[in-house]
């Protein structure tokens, strides 16, 4: 990938805290991580937070974080093929929770912070599973089946396999994950994982989570050890990596966002060719020919194409 400093993605602006690495999950490789949870600090209360950058949209279920035993007992946090986000908890062949958004998540060029904060002891149903997107609480507004009060969720269930990037053997996530955190025993707000930029208050950026109380099953995946991408930086039991290699560690992060082609942006082929000409003048023929090949290969199935670049192109 040609590195481009993007100026059109809010999460690209860094702050005092810098995220060094992310992990790339390629669904074509069937890449995922797994480990079995122990007895939880609290089976009813937990928070999951991660930074996500999608690489594919609208073709499959793309699971982020799941717990799975069999087809009658599982829970998943996932992107639907229609590109909305959902949480589903299914135990003993019965639906315990089914929540989803009308909002669609189709931007493959930006990092997104998702926080799901759970406390089923709450008397108000809507407070039992809260969703935050880029620092702002979002009300589940599509499916709205909340768990019963004091319902044990399948996520954070003792002696149960938990997965990053799949449900067990399918629905493989395609994209990048960073700052992936699970808190056992606390329902936390998004402010525990990020903050709005002081100078640009609409920009949500990561913050250091190392001081949080993680609980028995809590974990923190920072993906900084390329030889052990499933390393729990909090000191707990590591995740087992499956079909992941050291080369799946990347420096495309929420504080160092690499530009990518967005299939939702459409325009004129002439616009693309003009851009390539301008890049040729700035950076040399060889670099532009490489970019031109990438453009033609990635978009040969589209009749209309526009590539928009904002920022500084770095030779490399």
Give mean pLDDT in consecutive 10-residue pieces for the chain, a chain of 316 residues.
Answer: 35 68 97 98 98 94 98 98 98 98 96 98 98 97 97 98 94 98 98 95 95 98 98 97 98 93 58 53 47 42 38 40
C-alpha 161: how far from chain center: 20
The pLDDT of residue 301: 37
Rounded to 5 degrees, what angle do the CA atoms 217, 238, 132 make?
A: 50
State both tokens at 61.
Answer: 């279920």
**Do residues 108 and 298 touch, judged by C-beta distance below 8 A?**
no
Buried b (16+ CB within 10 A) or exposed e, 202-218: ebbbbeebeebebbebb
- Taking only Cα atoms into account, the Rg of the chain, rounded to an integer number of angstroms, comes to 20
The rounded distance, in Å, linking the Cα atoms of 5 and 99 is 36
**In the numeric block, which tokens belong to residue 106?**
């189709």
CATH of domain 14-250: 2.60.120.200
């Amino acid at each position: 990938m040609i590195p481009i400093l993007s100026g059109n993605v809010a999460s690209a602006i860094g702050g005092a805290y810098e995220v060094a690495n992310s992990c790339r999950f390629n669904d074509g490789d069937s890449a995922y991580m797994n480990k079995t949870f122990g007895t939880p600090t609290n089976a009813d209360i937990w928070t999951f937070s991660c930074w996500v950058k999608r690489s594919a949209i609208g073709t499959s279920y793309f699971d982020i974080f799941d717990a799975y035993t069999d087809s009658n007992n599982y829970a998943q946090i996932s992107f639907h093929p229609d590109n909305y986000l959902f949480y589903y908890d299914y135990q003993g062949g019965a639906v315990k929770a089914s929540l989803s958004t009308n909002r669609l998540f189709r931007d493959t060029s930006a990092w997104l912070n998702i926080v799901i904060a759970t406390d089923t002891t709450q008397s108000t149903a809507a407070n039992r599973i809260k969703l935050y997107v880029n620092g702002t609480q979002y009300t589940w507004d599509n499916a709205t089946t909340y768990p019963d009060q004091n319902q044990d969720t399948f996520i954070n269930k003792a002696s149960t396999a938990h997965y990053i990037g799949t449900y067990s053997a399918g629905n493989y996530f395609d994209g990048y994950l960073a700052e992936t955190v699970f808190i056992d025993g606390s329902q936390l707000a998004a402010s525990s994982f990020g903050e709005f930029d002081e100078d640009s208050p609409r920009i949500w950026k990561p913050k250091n989570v190392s001081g949080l109380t993680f609980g028995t099953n809590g974990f923190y995946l920072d993906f900084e050890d390329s030889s052990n991408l499933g390393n729990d930086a909090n000191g707990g039991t590591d995740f087992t990596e499956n079909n992941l290699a050291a080369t799946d560690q990347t420096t495309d992060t929420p504080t160092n966002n690499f530009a990518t082609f967005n299939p939702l942006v459409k325009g004129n082929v002439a616009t693309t060719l003009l851009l390539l000409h301008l890049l040729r003048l700035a950076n040399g023929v060889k670099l532009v020919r490489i970019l031109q090949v990438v453009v033609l290969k990635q978009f040969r199935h589209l009749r209309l194409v526009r590539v928009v670049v904002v920022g500084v192109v770095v030779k490399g």
